Structure 1
């Protein structure tokens, strides 16, 4: 029961960033893991943060919750990096963009997909409540539809947008020389089933397509930063893609055969994949998301 309540609360805070004010971040530790020279990942509370630093400045990928900004800045400094100059949001959710206002005020140039700015600039109605518009200083000032390239710190960093998947504004960040890829919440690793935010036009088929795009870019030495969970390998992303594809295939077949949502849940199509069924996104909640995406209106 406690696990289910915790998962439900965590699920809500991903969408409704104002609820982070109710959390106690004083005991959160922001820890760094180096993935390549000048490229690291920071773990704290919220989405995993990518960091690239060198003579051209520091690039941050996502920034967790606003109260954690001082700890994130301290962790960046601990890497020997200068203050954050560029900030990229992989999508709009508050556990990945909650620090935007703080970093924007500190002078960071914020970049994201067009739809990230659109959603952050206006009130958003979700199944879990209303998320108020962000202040101007928190909004991306450089936006794109397809992606962009940054030529910084001795390598080309590719920011690649994908069709609606986790949301309608997801981006992948690829350090081409360091062979590191940040997937944001297109990839939940070892902690739960995927989260498809249908209130932000997410589509589970896009989650599969995004995984396939990254698999085509990666090799056996690639280090993949998921939105949540530990750093992964290509083989682990492949297993994730296969799991999601298999579950979606089972549910799609059941829908076409005329089964109801409750009948599909009773089939337990998500069982047997080694994912905690009571995790952040439970098996039943994931089935509901997939069903809602695939079921004809």
Structure 2
């Protein structure tokens, strides 16, 4: 599902195998058995992958290799995290976090409920962290949830992994000399999304409301929609200045200009699909019309292919 997850394996086994892996996961909409789910493949890749640390600014770093991008702020006596990754990466993440500082993680903010951002909650909580999330995220991780697009049913997190600090609007933390703003946003990728802005460092983590350089997944089944994704991009643009480092849920660090390009892509495809749908065309006909064609060369070359993204947009309108 996500470009960063496959970088290591691509280097080891070459382009041909990488293409085969991509092809095997492009069929998300028609997947049958749970063992065919991309969740299984991504978990396996997390088990193989090393954790890559990218220093950003002001003591904030980005960690890759365990599901979605993870943020870590190092401050005197503590560390503050954005997202928890996949639990199978516990040992590798523990070592990576220790390499940043010996101090414990005091807070982990879940940007939304998906397992590649929350699965590590329990071990981090058991190590001393408070888990922070939107109320809807807390609801979803506490119960059985099905994502048909991934052909997968998620079981509840254990009690220790369930968020207890809930952010319905916004919450501010003082971590060392850094101000951390946790902001709830209207439904976008899901209906439980949060942003985290390290204000002094000017590093903005926007979760899966933004995927840099690849078409994003939209969880229509859990309150997401293309219109919500566009509104989230608008909010990100209001928060981001010319120097802001924007960290997507998946993909490399970005600039405000990158985010503007992403927003344009979303709006154009949304309008193209809406026009065709208004004409009475069914989903298959809209997909066949290739309403995303002008963007596919850049954005459609990974696991969310043009047809799948068009379907997500169509279903969300």
Q: Tell me, what secondary structure is at the counterpart of 1:275?
A: helix
1:66 aligns with 2:84: no
- Aligned counterparts of 1:160 and 1:233: Cα–Cα separation in 2: 20
Specify whether residues 84 and 7 from structure 1 end up closer, same or farther in structure 2 by C-alpha distance, changes over 3 A only.
farther
Tell me which residue corresponds to 2:312.
289
Segment drifting more, 251-260 vs 172-181: 251-260
1:208 aligns with 2:230: yes
1:110 aligns with 2:102: no
Specify whether residues 269 and 88 from structure 1 end up closer, same or farther in structure 2 by C-alpha distance, changes over 3 A only.
same
- Aligned counterparts of 1:69 and 1:285: Cα–Cα separation in 2: 32
- Aligned counterparts of 1:90 and 1:249: Cα–Cα separation in 2: 27
Moved over 4 A (4+): none
Q: Is the 8 A contact 2:46 2:86 kept in 1?
A: no
Tell me which residue corresponds to 2:15.
none
Higher helix share: 2
- Aligned counterparts of 1:19 and 1:233: Cα–Cα separation in 2: 32
- Aligned counterparts of 2:268 and 2:42: Cα–Cα separation in 1: 38
Q: Tell me, what secondary structure is at the counterpart of 2:25?
A: helix
- Aligned counterparts of 1:235 and 1:202: Cα–Cα separation in 2: 24
Tell me which residue corresponds to 1:156.
179
- Aligned counterparts of 1:136 and 1:184: Cα–Cα separation in 2: 24
Specify whether residues 44 and 278 from structure 1 end up closer, same or farther in structure 2 by C-alpha distance, changes over 3 A only.
same
Tell me which residue corresponds to 2:71.
50
Counterpart of 1:189 (choices 212, 215, 222) is 212
Deviation at 1:264, TM superposition (A): 1.3
Segment drifting more, 214-223 vs 278-287: 278-287
How high is the TM-score relative to the length of structure 2?
Answer: 0.86
Deviation at 1:253, TM superposition (A): 1.3
Q: Is the 8 A contact 2:67 2:117 kept in 1?
A: yes
Q: Tell me, what secondary structure is at the counterpart of 2:230?
A: helix
How high is the TM-score relative to the length of structure 1?
Answer: 0.91
Q: Is the 8 A contact 1:85 1:108 kept in 2?
A: yes
Q: Is the 8 A contact 1:194 1:281 kept in 2?
A: yes
Deviation track 1:237-278 (CA, whole Å, cap 9, x = no partner) reads 100000000100111111112222222112211112233535
Tell me which residue corresponds to 2:58.
37
Q: Is the 8 A contact 1:166 1:185 kept in 2?
A: yes
Counterpart of 1:280 (choices 281, 285, 303) is 303
Q: Unmatched 5+ residue regions in structure 2?
A: 1-18
1:260 aligns with 2:282: yes
Deviation track 1:25-62 (CA, whole Å, cap 9, x = no partner) reads 44311011111121111111310000011125211111
Q: Tell me, what secondary structure is at the counterpart of 2:48?
A: coil
Counterpart of 2:203 (choices 180, 188, 212) is 180
Specify whether residues 17 and 139 from structure 1 end up closer, same or farther in structure 2 by C-alpha distance, changes over 3 A only.
farther
- Aligned counterparts of 1:196 and 1:228: Cα–Cα separation in 2: 13
Tell me which residue corresponds to 1:121.
142
- Aligned counterparts of 1:202 and 1:111: Cα–Cα separation in 2: 20
Aligned length: 290
Q: Unmatched 5+ residue regions in structure 1?
A: none
Q: Tell me, what secondary structure is at the counterpart of 1:219?
A: coil
Specify whether residues 22 and 281 from structure 1 end up closer, same or farther in structure 2 by C-alpha distance, changes over 3 A only.
closer
Counterpart of 1:237 (choices 246, 256, 259) is 259
Q: Tell me, what secondary structure is at the counterpart of 1:242?
A: helix
Specify whether residues 71 and 244 from structure 1 end up closer, same or farther in structure 2 by C-alpha distance, changes over 3 A only.
same
